[in-house]
Amino acid sequence: MTDVPGGEGSPEHRHLPRVLITTGAIITIVASVAGLLTTGVATFYSASVARAQLRQSQEAAEEKRREHAARVSYWVDVQTDGTPRLHLTNRSPDPIANATMLFDTNHPGHESASGQVVFIVKVPSVPPCSDLVFTSNDMRFGADENVTHPADGHPLPDLPGADWRTFGTPPDITTQWVTYTDRDGSLWKRDGSGLLTQPTELEFTTEPGLPGAVLAVQPSSLKGCTDDAGLTPPTV
């Protein structure tokens, strides 16, 4: 019997299983490579999404932390009779700690080289939703430039001795900066213009002038702990 082309005995038939095996192997390899590519793309996408979510979470946490710090303000207002008042205001529902205020006042007529009084006032804690208000009635100045800040500037219930004097007329008050620690222990600084920053260290460089000190004052409660509590919102 004559072999039929492509029949069982033909060369084509004998090589068919080898062709099928080779084709199957190629298909398997291609499928594996495609699977690896798909898996790699999916893994890369998942990693990218995870990094984006982590970044968003960190940014949200930082924004929340800054929002808390931004509710602390340091400012001066003037009453209807012309008396200036210095405010250290905490509008947040959490206390702040280790607040240090640097401010100065003029002292017209005094024979000081600078004609000003320099105050470094430390407040261990400012309660939540409260306002510390200082007027010239709470302020004292040294009789000469050799008098130092008592207890490194901590507010005192009373200032002993005749070396500390009261202001005859209310002086002008100029804020320089205040630093404080938030609920997470982070250090913040707000300068006289209202700018809020995070310093790496404290600098106590001051201009020459008479030393100043303040009496301890009691914090007054605010109506609320929001930016519309009746006070000028701080500049962030």
Lowest-confidence segment of 27-36, 56-65, 86-95, 197-206 by average pLDDT: 56-65
Q: What is the pLDDT at residue 9? A: 55
Each residue's pLDDT tens digit, 80-136? 888 899 999 999 989 999 999 999 998 755 655 567 888 888 899 999 999 999 999
Residue 169 falls in which region: left (phi positive, over 0), alpha (psi -120 to 50) or beta = beta
% the chain with pLDDT above 90? 25
Lowest-confidence segment of 29-38, 197-206, 224-233 by average pLDDT: 224-233
What is the rounded distance in angstroms from the CA atom of residue 109 to the CA atom of residue 187?
A: 38
Distance from first CA to last CA of the chain, Å, rounded?
A: 100
pLDDT at 137 over 70: yes
Strand positions, DSSP E, the chain: 72-78, 84-90, 96-106, 116-126, 130-134, 139-142, 164-165, 173-181, 187-191, 196-197, 210-214, 220-221
Average confidence score pLDDT of the chain:
74
Q: Using the CB atoms, write b or e for 138-171: b if 16+ within 10 Å.
A: bbbbbeeeebebbeebbbeeebeeebbeebeebb
